[in-house]
Structure formats: C-alpha cells, structure tokens
Amino acid sequence: MAGMVQTTVRSKLSLTGLNMTFGHGNEVVDVLENIDLEVREGEFICLLGPSGCGKSTLLNIVGGFLKPSSGEVVIDGEPVRGPDPRRIFVFQERGVFPWLTVEGNIGFGLFRLSRQEKARRIAHYVELVGLQGFERAYPHELSGGMKQRVEVARALAVNPDMLFLDEPFGALDSITRLEMRRELLRIWRAERKTILFVTHDIEESVQLADRVVVMSTRPARIRNIMEINIPHPRDISSRRYLDLRDSIFEQIGLAHKI
C-alpha cells in the first residue's frame, strides 16, 4: 500500500514509554524510566545491566506478572494483560516443582493434551535437553544445570512463541554455563522462538544476542542498543567479538583490565 513502510520481519513486541515506580508516599523508588523497545519476531535480545538496575522488573512486566506504572506493552498487536502460556518465563532453576519428577515437570503445561500426545512431547523435549535416563528422577536428585534444563524443556514443551529468561544461568558453575549457552542457541535455532534474556554478564550477552540492550543503573534507562552481527557459532577470540565486547565495557564505564 502506498505510504506504508513494508517490514520484512514483523514486530513481535513493542514497549512504549514504560515507567515503573515502587512504593508510595515519601518512599518512592523509580525503577524503570521511559523504556522504548521494538523486538522482531525470532530475535534473541539480551537485556544487559548491573545487578538491581531493574531489568528483571522489566522482564516481569513484559511477562505480565507486574503492571507498569505507565506505558504500554504490546505483543502481536495486543496489549499484555497478564501471563500467557504462549510466552513462558524461565526462572532460575527455582521454578522447578520439587514434588514432580523430570517427566512431571516437563509435562506440567501439557494438561490440555491427550495422554499419548503428552507422552510424545515429553519424550521429545527430554531428548532435546539431554535428560534421557532421568525421566523418573526428582529435582533433588539433579544438579543445578540439569534442573535448569528441566525448566527450559518445560517452557519449550508448550510450544510458546516467546521465552523470557531471567539470568537463567547465573547460579551455574562456569563450565555448565558455557554448555547451557551453547544448548540454548541450538534450541533457539531449531525452534525459532523470540527470546528476551536478562543478564548482567557482558560476555554472555555478546555471545548470545542478536541485539544487546544496554541499560543504566537505577532508574534503568536504555543507554544503547548494540547490534551483534556475528554469525553463530561465534568465535569469542575474533577481532569483531572483542571490539563489540569492549565497546559495551566502555559504555558501562568499566575498564576491562583487572
């Protein structure tokens, strides 16, 4: 149509003029200030900022668990009114139900499916996250990394079109964390979800994201949005990677020498 801009990839999520304040009376804390963001379908976005800056609050608002003080969250053209099974929030492994087995957890969101379909999906996602042989295990019998995989599998099993991940690998040891990043990218490429990933780890954001949204300290504003146009798998010793990483270090005001 004349006059209309034709976009090749449609907008999945748009945040406009988002503000968030906590508390009331004299003790008001501004957490988010004037956040505007457009996310395309299938994009991997990292929200990067220092601890306690408000990026988790932002993710909780997008997930529908919190209402913003002002501004609007629109997904697929509809304003967000609450949590929705089409968009799954992945907590750190703390969201796994300790009273359910691996199977039970992964099948948790599949209560609308027939028994056979449910079993088929569970088997598929158990395999996808590499938990074969642990189907009947309870979370207390699993390591932190395995519990994290259970959470991711449970989220993917309902076939959502968006995933919200709140520092999902923060509690893992550094080796497991690297493995989990690789697996997440593999899953993302296989399943093409739109991903919002909160982290305070600069390296992590540059390794994973299509775009890194760099946020300020509280009240969180968007400082800059960095396009990470390096194809996967990314060589983390390449010039390009190091340049992008260092420029984020500079933006945040950190020296990268210790």
- Using CB under 8 A as the criterion, which residues of the chain lie in contact with another protein when the complex forms? 63, 65, 82-85, 87-89, 91, 94-95, 97-100, 108-109, 111, 138-141, 158
CB of 49 to another protein, least distance (A): 21
Closer CB to another protein, 146 or 228, in the complex: 146
CB of 138 to another protein, least distance (A): 6
Closer CB to another protein, 96 or 180, in the complex: 96
CA–CA separation, 229 vs 256, rounded Å? 22
CB of 6 to another protein, least distance (A): 34
Closer CB to another protein, 20 or 252, in the complex: 20
CB of 22 to another protein, least distance (A): 16
Closer CB to another protein, 144 or 185, in the complex: 144
